[in-house]
Amino acid sequence: RVLAADEQQRAKEAALAAVPGTVTDVDASDDQTSSGTAAYEVDVVAEDGTEWNVRLDRDFAVLGTSRDN
């Protein structure tokens, strides 16, 4: 589904609080994690150049982060 501008902004802010850097993508998600169902997935390039995937629930709480290889 297409995210509203306010959803994208809130997801970006939550992801950057977990992994400081630059957001490269924000998507809706329905992936299951050990912490629950992710509503959003945000790709972040950290300040050190590593790439991260941040999964958020529908309230924009961080469910988890994983480093992309």
Per-residue pLDDT of 11-26, as tens digits, reads 999 999 999 999 999 9
User: Nearest to residue 53, comparing CAs of 2, 15, 11?
Assistant: 15
Higher pLDDT, 3 or 36: 3
Q: Enter the pTM of the model.
A: 0.89
Residue 38 pLDDT grade (very low, low, confident, very high; cuts 50, 70, 90):
confident
What does the alpha-carbon distance between residue 21 and residue 48 come to, in Å, rounded to a whole number?
A: 8
Say how many CA atoms lie within 13 Å of 22 toward its Cβ: 6
